[in-house]
Structure 1
Amino acid sequence: MSSQPSSVPTDTADAKSAKAEAKKRRRAAAAESRAGSRRERRRARAAAKRAREGQTGPAEETTQGDAPASTGWAGLRDRVVELWMRRIHPVLDVVSPVGWAVAGVAAACWIAGLTLHVTELNVVALALTVPLVIAALFVLGKANYKVTLDLQTHRVVVGTRAVGRVEVANPTQRDILPSRIELAVGQATAQFLVPRLAAAQSHEELFAVPTKRRAVLVVGPVRSVRDDPLSLMRRQVTWAKEQELFVHPRTVRLDEAASGFLRDLEGTPSSDLSSSDIAFHALRDYAPGDDRRHVHWRTTARTGKLMVRQFEETRRSHVVVALDNLAEHYASEEEFELAVSVAASISAQTFREEKELTPFTFDARQRTASFRPMMDDYTLVEQLKERISFHELGQKASDLAPNASAVMMVVGPHTTARELNAAANQLPIGVMAVAIRCVEDAEVQRSAIGSLDVVTLGSLDTLARALRAVGR
């Protein structure tokens, strides 16, 4: 049984309730952990005492030896805590704050009415007790579902929908009454109605998560909920754990003309010698294993022995993408998102061209082992509120890649020319430095600050044209 995909809402009143439930679970887990630690310490003390007394025996005697250690106030306290966490607290937790208020008023009316013999108070107490009893009937019983949460993909790009499904199955041999399923997505909660399920029957719901902004969304957990119409009591059970959904920044592919200015085919010669490269260095005697394509036949004929070409290794293009993530340099969230998309696009193009790449921000460095982790790291980039001297961006570029051939600094509109010049002065001599200013709705413009090329753009779609302007 299936249904059309439904869009997850952006706001819900159950978000606060979900947070409160998670907080209660954390407290319960902490209390259980403390109780377990106390039991382990008592067992250790009892074992040490028996060892001193020379007692030995099977495992049953160890259990009996624990009994005296559980007496006294400490043992009584532990038993009370265990009884509360396992028996009493789950029952009382079903009652909502509104239900506790109604129960409190009902109890007060019963006590006052029976003590003072006021019939009106007894009637009010009865009128309040009846809804509580009916609410208890709604939450009685235990459903045994088998729930599967399946995301079609765990990584999408901003603007595309992430589609998933929730399958609720009845693994028992008896029918299960209708219930409501809640799916948490970030701070929102989607609700699905599950009909009556016969034995071995299942129900499937499709959902779509809108991705308007770059983020890491937590999809899940999936909970079954039973409550009464007046919301006096609410019982929920978690069936499927949460999953992470990465919403990557939007990127654009750069054509050959736009990315050509980053190409550095000849590179910079190094002192390392190689038997295969593009920079000829000298001739040497042939050695077993040398590629015969590098044999210099004219010299071989003249000298009478095999001579091969010796090459000098060249340095490949090494592109540095430095993203300015200082909050004070951006006028809006949209401008910062544009800067992240620009940096991610240049990094993606450099990665596809198999060049050396070093992308980083003020507080983090993006991974470049493969494309997916790099985009995941760009998804996690956030603005920094603290004040940091901007020249540290150039200093960090110099430290991370001293042999870089090109440094791309992606900055905000409030980054001053003085700050850009200070950062450029920290770069190694001879490196090609470009600053890309991201200003919302701005036209493509090119300028220069000393040896630093500065290009301004207002949308991601104009990035290719802006880079072509720099390459001229």
Structure 2
Amino acid sequence: MLAVVIGRAVGIGAAAGAVVAEWAGTVRGVVTSIGWAVIVAAIAALVAGYAWGWLEVIVLGWGFGVLVAAASVWLIGRGASTIELVLPMPRVVVGEAAEARLIAANPGRRRFGGVQLEVPVGGRVVERVLPGLPRGGAFDEQFPIPTERRGVVPVGPARTVRADPIGLMRREIVWSQVVDLHVHPRTVPITALSTGFIRDLEGAPTRDLTASDIAFHALREYVPGDDRRHIHWRSSAKTGTFMVRQFEETRRSRLMIVLDLDAAAYTDAAEFELAVSAAASVGARAIRDARTVSFVVSGPAGGNGAARGSTRELPTVSRDRLLDALCVVETEERAAMLPDVAHAAAEALTGISLAFLVTGTARGIAPLRSAATRFPVGVEAVAVQCAPEGEPSVRSIAGLTVFRIGYLEDLRAMLARSASVA
């Protein structure tokens, strides 16, 4: 019996402790530092006043207490029944207009409103005053989101704030989750990447016709030199003329894009942003063409257990996934050198037929040539050096094609010219 009584007492004590802890947490969440100072001052004044019979101090203590009680009245109410935070466009291009939408509704019977509404947007806080909402009323407002730079901008959570004018109490009610706005790097539509194709029976059919492959196209009359193994005897018997099978050539293209993240490769931030946009443009076009593409960025250059020349591969399952990943890519002070990155990528990824090396003007030609030699024989290498507002140029050095671009449009023009020559 004694054990049962002790057990119940322990259970009641634990429950009471949990309630007290929850209440204490709630109090800590609504009382500001000024509020705590006033509460401590009120308690100290009342204790000292009653202890030594100081009437003025007693009045001061009760005055502080009334002030705290009056401030608590401001916390009553919720201010709305529902508040929703919506991003009409969760992905935009750098520089494009972006907005978030706040929707508040009051389906209840009581009139709500007159409270402050706060929405953190990146490093700032957007403040609005929620107007009085009668029964069935709604509040719908949009506010802009800055998109001057590539990145991920966290928006939210939307919260209502009730606080007294003095600042003793502050009560926050969170109404929504944090939503991310992805600000993609700018890209330009470029021509189809016709270089770097390898004929492969397991590849995708093209419009080029051939006499031997696996993607059947049509029948045609036999001409001298055709392989007799491809004669279609049943059709030949019906027409009285030898007919041979004609196929669509299947080809594959494994493309690799290497984005240099070494901070020493770029003279300023503008060069790196142009490099990110150039690499993103090539990757987006390759994904659109349904080519097998690998997007590689340089990893740390040794130390802390990281292997020298390490790489990191970004997702390329879709254009949006790639651009989402590029939103958070930044230069690194201790990134691996470009030749080491190319060597590590060539070892990890097989079957590459075309490789783009995207970097800045501070990266000399010698490292680019060294990086190109790290790829297997037969891999076509193209280096893209980014110099914002610089003069575009194209040159070939020991089998390496080097594009120097000042604008994204230069890259599009150079690739179109290369395609027409090919």
Report the TM-score, using the length of structure 2 for normalisation: 0.80
Contact residue 205 and residue 250 of structure 2 kept, 8 A:
no
Question: Is 1:293 aligned to 2:224, yes or no?
Answer: no
- Residue aligned with 2:22, SS: helix
- Residue aligned with 2:110, SS: coil
Q: 2:44: which partner in 1?
A: 108
Q: 2:123: which partner in 1?
A: 187
Cα 1:272/1:463, change in 2 over 3 Å: closer
Q: 1:319 aligns with which of 236, 255, 274?
A: 255
Cα deviation, 1:362-400, whole Å, max 9, x if unaligned, reads 243233332222222222323334342432321244245
Structure 2, gaps ≥5 residues long: 299-310
State the Cα distance separating 1:409 from its structure 2 match: 0.6
Cα 1:379/1:100, change in 2 over 3 Å: same
Question: Is 1:355 aligned to 2:291, yes or no?
Answer: yes
- Residue aligned with 1:240, SS: coil
Q: 1:96: which partner in 2?
A: 32
Cα 1:173/1:325, change in 2 over 3 Å: same
Contact residue 275 and residue 309 of structure 1 kept, 8 A:
no
Q: 1:426: which partner in 2?
A: 374
State the Cα distance separating 1:145 from its structure 2 match: 1.4
Give, in whole Å, the separation in 2 of the partners of 1:455 and 1:71: 80
Question: Is 1:376 aligned to 2:295, yes or no?
Answer: no
- Residue aligned with 1:139, SS: coil
Number of aligned pairs?
Answer: 396
Question: Is 1:134 aligned to 2:70, yes or no?
Answer: yes
- Superposed, which structure 2 residues align to 1:27-66 within 5 Å? none
State the Cα distance separating 1:198 from its structure 2 match: 1.5
- Residue aligned with 1:199, SS: coil
State the Cα distance separating 1:83 from its structure 2 match: 1.1
Q: 1:438: which partner in 2?
A: 386
Give, in whole Å, the separation in 2 of the partners of 1:253 and 1:208: 27
Q: 1:263: which partner in 2?
A: 194
Give, in whole Å, the separation in 2 of the partners of 1:421 and 1:161: 41
State the Cα distance separating 1:138 from its structure 2 match: 1.1
Cα 1:311/1:462, change in 2 over 3 Å: closer
Q: 1:229: which partner in 2?
A: 165
Contact residue 270 and residue 314 of structure 1 kept, 8 A:
yes
Give, in whole Å, the separation in 1 of the partners of 2:386 and 2:126: 36
- Residue aligned with 1:319, SS: strand
Question: Is 1:365 aligned to 2:365, yes or no?
Answer: no
State the Cα distance separating 1:221 from its structure 2 match: 1.2
Q: 1:391 aligns with which of 331, 339, 354?
A: 339
- 2:93 is aligned with what amino acid? V
Question: Is 1:410 aligned to 2:341, yes or no?
Answer: no
Cα 1:291/1:153, change in 2 over 3 Å: closer
Question: Is 1:247 aligned to 2:183, yes or no?
Answer: yes
Contact residue 204 and residue 250 of structure 2 kept, 8 A:
no
Give, in whole Å, the separation in 1 of the partners of 2:46 and 2:244: 106
Which segment drifts farther, 137-146 or 153-162? Answer: 137-146
Cα 1:367/1:269, change in 2 over 3 Å: same
Structure richer in strand, relative to its length = 2
Question: Is 1:463 aligned to 2:389, yes or no?
Answer: no
State the Cα distance separating 1:110 from its structure 2 match: 2.5
State the Cα distance separating 1:235 from its structure 2 match: 0.6
- Residue aligned with 2:85, SS: strand
Give, in whole Å, the separation in 1 of the partners of 2:269 and 2:402: 22
- Residue aligned with 1:361, SS: strand
Q: 1:340: which partner in 2?
A: 276
Question: Is 1:172 aligned to 2:108, yes or no?
Answer: yes
- Residue aligned with 2:252, SS: coil
Cα 1:181/1:67, change in 2 over 3 Å: farther
Structure richer in helix, relative to its length = 1
Cα 1:447/1:126, change in 2 over 3 Å: farther
Cα 1:350/1:202, change in 2 over 3 Å: same
State the Cα distance separating 1:444 from its structure 2 match: 2.1
- 2:139 is aligned with what amino acid? H
- 2:136 is aligned with what amino acid? A
Cα deviation, 1:133-181, whole Å, max 9, x if unaligned, reads 3211211234451112222111111111222321111121122242111
Cα deviation, 1:298-353, whole Å, max 9, x if unaligned, reads 77679x89563476955333332111123333343332222111111111223334
Cα deviation, 1:16-40, whole Å, max 9, x if unaligned, reads xxxxxxxxxxxxxxxxxxxxxxxxx
- Residue aligned with 2:136, SS: coil
Give, in whole Å, the separation in 2 of the partners of 1:276 and 1:246: 35
Cα deviation, 1:154-211, whole Å, max 9, x if unaligned, reads 1111111222321111121122242111112223221111122212211112212121
Report the TM-score, using the length of structure 1 for normalisation: 0.73
Contact residue 343 and residue 410 of structure 1 kept, 8 A:
yes
Give, in whole Å, the separation in 2 of the partners of 1:454 and 1:297: 44
- Residue aligned with 2:374, SS: coil
Identity across the alignment (%): 30
Cα deviation, 1:236-257, whole Å, max 9, x if unaligned, reads 1111222222111111122x4x
Which segment drifts farther, 104-113 or 194-203? Answer: 104-113
- 1:263 is aligned with what amino acid? S
Structure 1, gaps ≥5 residues long: 1-64, 284-288
Cα 1:356/1:445, change in 2 over 3 Å: same
Contact residue 221 and residue 238 of structure 1 kept, 8 A:
yes
- Residue aligned with 2:326, SS: helix
- Superposed, which structure 2 residues align to 1:148-159 within 5 Å? 148-159=84-95
Contact residue 216 and residue 247 of structure 2 kept, 8 A:
no
